[in-house]
Amino acid sequence: MENTVRDEPRPSVPNSAQTGLSSVDNALQLLRLIGERRALRVAEAADDLCVARSTAHRLLTALRRQGFVTQDKPNGVYRPGPALLEIGLSAIGRVDIRHAARPVLEQLSEDTQETVSLLLLEGDSVRFIDCVEGSRSVRVATRTGIVLPAHCTAGGKAILAALPTSDLDRRYPTRQLDTRTPNSISTWRELESELDEIRDNGYAVNFGEGESSICAVGMAIYDLIGYPLAAIAVAVPSSRLETVEQAGELAHLLVQAQASVRDAFNKAG
């Protein structure tokens, strides 16, 4: 008996699967549009995708829940969210911002004779991605590569203070805070109060909160749309930074450094 080979008909894709694929395509298209335009309304999204406004709203709501887009107010425009910005930073930002910041870190370290660091936010922690060690005999050692809870560092608190409330909620769903020293912030209410103070002052101070022997002053670095990309911080042995007035003197020097890093990074981008 002769064997025959027949072409079997290919199974059709179920409607539910087709709908799922279409939703994924539309969501990705929305991310591309928001990345290009930096702001998008529901009506614009619906027109560009050729879908009903209810469908566009549902997709944008799902992206907002995951942190890929954000809104300044209910029914407001949608803008790039922290999750989308984090993906961009992980792809290119680390290299670019380190390159842009390095000369500024060196100059600030020379001006203060103290150790200066560049930090990035990772979840609810910060990573020190570059550092210029101070020239004094007693100084804070280089911290490049170290990861600490964001609320225990000056740079981390400066970034947290600049985040939208929705982003803070996403990073701290349980409101639980780890402590590293007796000076560490331990409650959510205490952190909220300090973040309000940082917003008023424009800078953050760490009095032995990550390590008992180290104090620091930090400021956030913003991109062109006002989102905190990173932070720059001056770290000092606790014996040389004991008062709010001393912290204010360092903050004054940080202002120009903050602006220089921001301008260099945004120009490079």
- Report the percentage of the chain scoring pLDDT > 70: 86
Domains and CATH numbers, the chain: 15-80 (1.10.10.10), 85-268 (3.30.450.40)
Of 130, 131, 127, whose CA–CA distance to 115 is shortest?
Answer: 131
pLDDT tens-digit readout, 245-263: 999 999 999 998 988 888 8
**Res. 13: pLDDT tops 80:** no
pLDDT at 11: 43
pLDDT tens-digit readout, 87-111: 655 554 454 788 889 999 999 999 9
Half-sphere exposure of 54 (CA within 13 A, CB side): 0
**Res. 152: pLDDT tops 60:** yes
pLDDT at 1: 43
For 55-107, what is the HEC assignment?
HHHHHHHHHHHCCCEEECCCCCCEEECHHHHHHHHHHHHHHHHHHHHHHHHHH
Q: Where residue 160 falls among pLDDT bands split at 50, 70, 90?
A: very high
More confident residue, 36 or 40: 40
pLDDT at 151: 97
